[in-house]
Structure formats: structure tokens, C-alpha cells
Amino acid sequence: MGIWWLLALPVIGAMIGWLTNWLAIRMLFHPRQPIRFFHWRWQGLVPRRQVEIAEKVGDIVEREILQKHVLREELDKLPIDQWLNDFSRRLVQERLAPKIRQMPVIGAMINQRVIAWVEESARKALAEEAPLLMGKIVDELEARIAIRHMVTKRVAEFDLDALERIVRDLAHKEFKRIEWLGAILGFLIGMVQALLAWLAMG
């Protein structure tokens, strides 16, 4: 074994290490369709397990992220009182009051003070009924919205080309580091092999 062959071992190891990691990253998404070699089936990890991944994501979203009553907690943060105040004002001032004032006899007796009293009464009534109504709405939404099924369906139907672009854009630097790490490890292994071969020659 010549000295040039010994010097080439680290370079060859680096090339093999880089190529192995590059291929492993590429095999996350490729090949899209399964390729068969006799009884061996080869397909990219994500295409092969897209449905399984979708089911896991749906399960995690429903169980860990959107736990029961999360919807209720988020709705409680909304400025419902302000919305009800605005709604009662528009209902009375812009819709009810003009119609009442147009009524014979009664319309002449309705002044702004009466309208304000009606508006305040409507606001209080809405405020009292709002918690019960919101509770019913949330209960119905939690019962009707199948979060797990919805997320699973969306992920299972997600375009793999778009998903690959997203992953590569997000993890571009990390993928490059993995490739170079393979090259470095391959180079070091080649150095060790070269050293052992040189010692064996001596």
C-alpha cells in the first residue's frame, strides 16, 4: 500500500461521510413513490408515513395543545362586555328608537331619557344572559368540532413538495451542518484507518 493511498483514506472517508448524510437527509422526502427491489420496498420517510404522521399530529394537537375547555378559556379573554354594550346601543338607538318614535301617540311621549333607560335595560339583560349563552355555544363547539379529525385530514393531504420546501427553508443551516459533520467524522475515521495501516506496514 503506497503512501498516496494512505493519504487518500481521510479524503475518501470525508466524501463518504458527507454523501451518507446528504443521502439520509434527501431520503426524508425522496423517493415520493415506493421503489421495489425484489422484496425490498424503498420510499422516503415522510411520504411513506404521511398518514401516520398526520394521525400523530392530530392526536397531539387535540390532546396537548387544544385540551378540553381551552376554547372556553380563550373566549373568556374576549371583550364580550364591550361588544354587548355596543350592540345594545346600536339596537336601541339606531333600530328600535326610530321605529318607536314613528308610532302614533306613543312616539310623541318617547324622549331621549326613555330611550337611554331602554338601552341600559337591554345592556343589563344581555350582560345577565351572556355567560349562559356563551357556555352553550362553547359546549356545542367542543362537541361538534372534531379537532383531531380536522388536523389529521389537513396534514395527510398536505402537498409534499410544499412541505419539503418549508422544512428545507427552516432547517437549511442545520442540514448543511449535518452534512459537514458527516464529512468531518469520515475524515477522522479515514485518518485512524490510515494511521493503523501505516503502523501495520511498519
What does the pLDDT read at residue 61?
79
pLDDT at 137 over 90: no
- Pick the residue with more confidence: 122 or 13? 13
Answer for the pair 122, 92: CB distance below 8 angstroms, yes or no: yes
Domain containing 188 equals 3-201
Interacting residues of 64 by C-beta distance below 8 A, sequence separation 6+? none
User: Among candidates 149, 166, 137, which has minimal Cα distance to 29?
Assistant: 166
Indicate the number of domains in the chain.
1
pTM of the model: 0.58
pLDDT at 134 over 70: yes
Average pLDDT of the chain, as a whole number: 80
What does the pLDDT read at residue 20?
93
DSSP 60-101: HIIIIIS-TTHHHHHHHTS-HHHHHHHHHHIIIIIIIHHHHH
What does the pLDDT read at residue 2?
60
- Pick the residue with more confidence: 142 or 33? 33
Whether the bond into 104 is cis, omega within 30 of 0:
no
